[in-house]
Amino acid sequence: MIADLLTRLEEEKDQWMYEAIARFHETVLLVDGQKYTFTTGETLEDQLIQIRNLEHSLWKQKSLDLEQMEKEMLSIKDSIDKDQRDLENLASTLDDLHNELAVYEEKQKSLDGIQLEKFTCYLHHEFNFDKKDQVVFKERKISRLMESYQNVEMDILDFYQRQLSSIWLVLTHSMENLPSTAKFDFNTKPPRTVLSLKHGRGLDQYIKPGNFEEDYQIVLDTLERNNAMVYDYYESQVNQFVQDSTAEITRLQTLANEQQRSANENILELQEKKRKKEAQMIELQDRLSNAKQEWVQDSLRPQLLDDLLKEEFVKAVSGWQEKLFAENASDEERWVYHHYCQIILKQAERIFENE
């Protein structure tokens, strides 16, 4: 009879582990959707230790995966924030370039507005005329012609000097605050022809009206020639300064336009990168949300297995102890039940100690 009891208990000593595994399989769905399978020859205790270790390992790995996803999402967020800062900086750069180009355009308009006006020679306002529209006799003098000539010559020079002063201010203002070394130093010694009268080498007074009129025309022609020479002299300098300044402003405009084009390209590229990262962020947030739910569920699996093992262990020990302390149990039976209670106790200790 004792031999039969030993045989039966030997068969039942692993039953509590079978029951725990079966209940665990019924309660949870494993990662691969299948029950655990093991190689032939492994003891149930070894299999159960493997199950516990694998469950703990899977949960730890999912914890690491979850942590890695959170780090990845934080990294993407930091990258998106950096892209946004770069976009804001580029937008500010574009504003600066837009303002810079507006300044160049305004300066160019100032240059385009520069024009040297030509002096108009008038000699008649230096004399008084009679009813026949001729210079009155008393003013038909060499001295009067020479004085008139000098007055008009002074008017010519003063006319251009005043213009050059205004033009110099415009040129200087146009190149102000620009990285330019341009200097606008006008040469102020224009060439002029010498006046050579044909008559009046004796008396100061012209006796013949025709002689006076001829010299009068000579004075007027000489003034017009000198005026043309002075005008050409200064106009060539003004044109050269304007051309040089325009070339410099054009160079700066080209550079600013290139920088503007590059900034726009960078903005488009950054916007596309940011859009992809935001889409990646949304996808990762969904994955992370699902992963957290799975992580919470899976975190219960190792504890569930341990709880089931403890329940089945207590159930098995309780059943045997009930028979152990039964009034009709013989000493041999009590020893056998006690012995097998110790066996499964050692099994449980080995299982729970093995992490």
If you ran DSSP here, which 8-state letter would residue 118 be given?
P
> CA 278, 283, 286, 292 torsion: positive or negative?
negative
Residue 72 has pLDDT above 80, yes or no: yes
5: pLDDT strictly greater than 80 = no
Which pLDDT belongs to residue 268? 95
Chain center to CA of 242: 37
**Helix, strand, coil in percent for the chain, rounding step 5:** 75, 0, 25
What is the chain's mean pLDDT, rounded?
86
More confident residue, 249 or 7: 249
The residue whose two tokens read 């100061």 is: 204
Q: Is the pLDDT of residue 339 over 90?
A: no
Q: Grade residue 34 by pLDDT with cuts at 50, 70 and 90.
A: low
d(C-alpha 207, C-alpha 338), whole Å = 166
Q: Which residue has the tokens 């004399």?
A: 127
CA distance 181 to 187: 18
Integer Cα distance of 37 and 30 in angstroms: 12
Q: What is the pLDDT of residues 308-320, one digit of tens each?
A: 888 888 888 888 7
pLDDT at position 32? 47
Residue that has been written with the tokens 């999912």 in this structure: 62
Place 31 in a pLDDT band, splitting at 50, 70 and 90: very low
Q: In the predicted model, what is the mean pLDDT of residues 38-66?
A: 77
**pLDDT above 60 (res 201):** yes
**Range 22-51 average pLDDT:** 68
- CA–CA distance, 169 with 249 (Å, rounded to integer): 17
d(CA 57, CA 21): 18
Q: Inform me whether the pLDDT recorded for 306 exceeds 80.
A: yes
**Cα pseudo-dihedral 95, 96, 102, 103, rounded to 10:** 160
Burial (CB count <10 Å: 0-12, 13-18, 19+), residue 315 = middle
Whether 145 contacts 215, CB under 8 Å:
yes
* 3-class DSSP assignment, residue 135: strand
Q: What is the DSSP string of 51-86?
A: HHHHHHHHHHHHHHHHHHHHHHHHHHHHHHHHHHHH
- C-alpha to C-alpha distance for 52 and 351, rounded to whole angstroms: 8
Which residue has better confidence, 237 or 305? 237
- Regarding predicted confidence, which is higher, 327 or 39? 327
Phi-psi region of 177 (alpha: psi -120 to 50; beta: other; left: phi over 0): left
Structural contact between residues 66 and 291, judged by C-beta atoms closer than 8 angstroms: yes
Mean pLDDT is highest, among 14-23, 34-43, 115-124, 176-185, for: 115-124
Q: What is the reported pLDDT for 167?
A: 94
Return the minimum-mean-pLDDT range out of 155-159, 257-261, 294-298: 294-298
pLDDT of the residue at 36: 63
Model confidence at 12, pLDDT cuts 50, 70, 90, reads confident
Comparing 41-45, 143-147, 203-207, which segment has the lowest mean pLDDT? 41-45
Q: What is the pTM of this model?
A: 0.66
Amino acid 187 reads N
- What percent of the chain is predicted at pLDDT more than 70? 94
Q: What percent of the chain has pLDDT over 90?
A: 47
Residues near 161 by beta carbon (within 8 Å), at least 6 away in sequence: 188
pLDDT of amino acid 40: 53
Helix (H, G, I), strand (E, B) or coil at 209: helix
CA distances to 163, 185, 233, 234 from 240, rounded to whole Å, are 16, 12, 11, 10
CA distance 90 to 95: 9
As a whole number of angstroms, the distance between CA 39 and CA 46 comes to: 11
Most confident among 183-187, 248-252, 285-289 (mean pLDDT) = 248-252
Band of residue 330 on the pLDDT scale cut at 50, 70, 90 = confident
